Amino acid sequence: KNEVEQSPQNLTAQEGEFITINCSYSVGISALHWLQQHPGGGIVSLFMLSSGKKKHGRLIATINIQEKHSSLHITASHPRDSAVYICAVPNSGGGADGLTFGKGTHLIIQP
């Protein structure tokens, strides 16, 4: 089973700061998912990426398949970005077998 490690577990920053969240995994994968969860809420899929870099608004996700590592960046952070950010990988090489989740990074952006 894939081991997914995220860092940091908790992060508090000031509005406008550049944020980086890291994720590493132990077994090669076809794609990695970055997810967002607000307190008490459901999960929103931010990115699914298998190589290189993706950008959506102020969010950027990168992945290095050889190093089994991915990062999520938030530029010009805003209090509404406060949430738990979760990295997840498929349970198998490509089947519909669900995801294994990291423990999440609890991000707080202060005004």
Partner 1 sequence: DTEVTQTPKHLVMGMTNKKSLKCEQHMGHRAMYWYKQKAKKPPELMFVYSYEKLSINESVPSRFSPECPNSSLLNLHLHALQPEDSALYLCASSQTPGQRSGSYGYTFGSGTRLTVV
Rank residues 1 and 111 by Cβ distance to partner 1 and give the closer one: 1
Check residue 98 for interaction with partner 1 (CB under 8 A).
Answer: yes
Q: Report which of 83, 56, 89, 84 is spatially closest to residue 70, judged by C-alpha positions.
A: 89
Check residue 103 for interaction with partner 1 (CB under 8 A).
Answer: yes
How many residues of this chain interact with partner 1, rule: CB under 8 A? 25
Cβ–Cβ < 8 Å for 47, 61: yes
Neighbours of 56 (CB within 10 A): 9
Check residue 65 for interaction with partner 1 (CB under 8 A).
Answer: no
User: CB of 96: closest distance to partner 1 in angstroms?
Assistant: 3
Rank residues 73 and 101 by Cβ distance to partner 1 and give the closer one: 101
From candidates 50, 64, 75, 110, binder to partner 1 by CB under 8 A = 50
Provide CB contacts within 8 A for 12, sequence distance 6+: 107, 108, 109, 110
